[in-house]
Amino acid sequence: MTEKPDLRAAVAAGVGGSEESFRALLAAIVEVARSIFGAKASSILLLDEATEELVFEAVVGEGEDTLLGTRFPAGKGIAGWVLATQTPLVIEDVQQDPRFAKDVAEDSGYVPSGLMAAPLMHEERALGVLSVLDRPEQSLFSLQEMELLGLFANQASIAVDLLLKARKANTVLLQSEGDLEVVARLAAVVDALEDEKRASGIKLLNDLAGTLGA
């Protein structure tokens, strides 16, 4: 992240989606994932690189009231392995695994007996993990489901990347101590204008840029 205030980030924060809208997108992705697999729950965990922790960013189904925002060490549990190796994994009878982050699950009063997990990749980086918990017990896992999980993980990765960019832009805006807020507001206002007014607004901004010597 740049130390100096970044005008582009300020504009991005103005015209880009808000954190709330990206969170809603993540929630929608886990909701569809849960529904498609007929699972009891689904979640997206993001890696907080500073603390090396995984954070629940989106949860649907069992545990959705309590898990959101919960953190645990990124080296812990099956999600930790998926993140470190950037490899998807499917495991049944998860309770039998003493390394499963059971304390987290038990806090929510819900311990899954099966878990599908795929890494959220953006370019070379693993951003987090998409999990689908407790598929129907009678159904045997198939490669088709693995492929579907990968597709969802890919979609979730794009949403997560947008969320992280929005956060970065907003952080820059906050660090500028209000100086750039007007730029963000201006960008948002112009972006929301209808055709003709929008064209006039952009022309006005271009004239202003010319006056300021840009």
- Using CB under 8 A, list all residues that contact another protein: 47, 49, 52, 74-75, 77-78, 80-81, 83-94, 96-99, 118-119, 121, 123-126, 140-143, 146-147, 150, 153-154
Distances (CA, A) of 123 to 42, 120, 176, 198: 24, 10, 29, 35
Nearest to 39 by CA among 115, 147, 123: 115
CB of 54 to another protein, least distance (A): 10
**Residue closer to another protein (CB basis): 98 or 210:** 98
Non-local (6+) Cβ contacts of 94 within 8 A are 78, 100, 111, 112, 113, 114, 115
Q: Which alpha helices (H) appear in the chain, and where do they start and end? A: 7-15, 19-37, 77-85, 102-107, 143-175, 181-192, 195-211
**Residue closer to another protein (CB basis): 126 or 180:** 126
CB of 137 to another protein, least distance (A): 12
Distances (CA, A) of 9 to 73, 173, 180: 31, 7, 9
Distance (Å, whole) CA 126 – CA 148: 19
Phi, psi dihedrals of residue 45, rounded to the nearest 5°: -110, 135
CB of 62 to another protein, least distance (A): 21
95: its two tokens: 């309770």
CB of 212 to another protein, least distance (A): 40
Distance (Å, whole) CA 119 – CA 150: 8
**Residue closer to another protein (CB basis): 54 or 172:** 54
CB of 67 to another protein, least distance (A): 21
**Residue closer to another protein (CB basis): 10 or 121:** 121
**Residue closer to another protein (CB basis): 140 or 214:** 140
Distances (CA, A) of 61 to 34, 108, 150: 8, 11, 20
CB of 138 to another protein, least distance (A): 13
**Residue closer to another protein (CB basis): 84 or 182:** 84
